[in-house]
Structure 1
Amino acid sequence: MTDQSTLHDTKAAYDAIAGLYAEMFSDILDQLPLERALLRAFADIVGEAGPVADLGCGPGHLTAHLNELGLDVFGVDLSPEMIALARQAHPGLRFDEGSMTALDVEDAALVGILAFYSVIHTPPQRLSEVFDEFARVLKPGGHVLLGFFAGDEAWPREFDHKVTLAYRWLPDALAAVAGQSGFAEVARLRREPIEGERFQQAQLLLRKP
């Protein structure tokens, strides 16, 4: 499968379920105290030093949360239906249609990137291109916070995600791929699934030197 066909399939899949997705996940943080704490820490670390991008923002609920935490944040998503819902729900914030592999952002323009469960749809052999793009748009000292489904195998394992094809990553393996683009690990979280989840969940906080 080519990169363009992967992007097309992911875009079409999220367009098709955008409304339902927004209904199901708009208040998801209420159930996730550990993720809320890590988002708070991320906001404290990047501070008010510059703009932050929420990549794969969906209907914008995490973009809005980061804004409430005091960040200058905007959202980007591949799905135009998701972007339309985000703009409707959060008219005071900026949301752009776009791809993580080719961001309409100048070099070294951002202090932070949130990519919560958005790199999971990228084929493993192409993920280094995503991290290269993250490195391009981040200032030195900028941070990335990743959220993903945790796996236990050295090579990421695909699974039947409810929307479209996705991959589970061993945190060490994902950190290693990011390291090839120059990122250093700052912290990680791995927790057991709660009710309604099938897999362990993980987050990585990375820093561009």
Structure 2
Amino acid sequence: MKFGVIVFPGSNCDRDMIECLQKDLKQEVIELWHKDKDLSMFTTDDCIVLPGGFSYGDYLRCGAIARFSPMMQSVIEFANKGGKVLGICNGFQILCESGLLPGVLLRNSHQQFVSKNVFIKEAAAEGSHALKIPVAHGEGRFFADDKTIEQLEMHRQIIYRYCDEKGSVTPGSNPNGAVHNIAGICNKERNVFGMMPHPERASSTSLGNEDGKKVFAHLFGIN
């Protein structure tokens, strides 16, 4: 399985992601520049990653400009053919802006940037354990209308929820006010994934936390 990591102007988590995939997870990685279009070296068994950061400075709206980059047009085509796509933080925002995932990421309910370790759990797995994963965002509050939320619940598209250390989903464990404590979702076809927490920042023994590896194992079967 190959991973392509897109670098946008303003990306600041691309190196974290590349190092995590190469060194911690022993995966092949190809860097992709936002102005390029060629994804011919990837098959639908591979994955394109949109890392966190502040693409194009987030001057208009988080992810709104990156959505129109040449590479994203190819990513949309790749995803529509069944290729795997993962968006982390700003990458999640770009996926929502591009229409590959439903909903929107709004400003945090407390109107402040949040940067800390939080706990998340697999939404569809009964008794799943809490994972400690860091977040770092100012616009991470997932929101969608009632009908969309109903569809996400019905089709089990909610992949992670914010929880406390014991795995209980509570208002106090929600770092940004996201509806239903949603930390990550996928599309109906289950090949496009987006989440606000940063598993690539929690996948190294030198950081004292390898819970992020469990995210990659859950989504792609690698560890």
- If the length of structure 1 is used for normalisation, what is the TM-score? 0.39
| TM-score normalised by length of structure 2 | 0.37
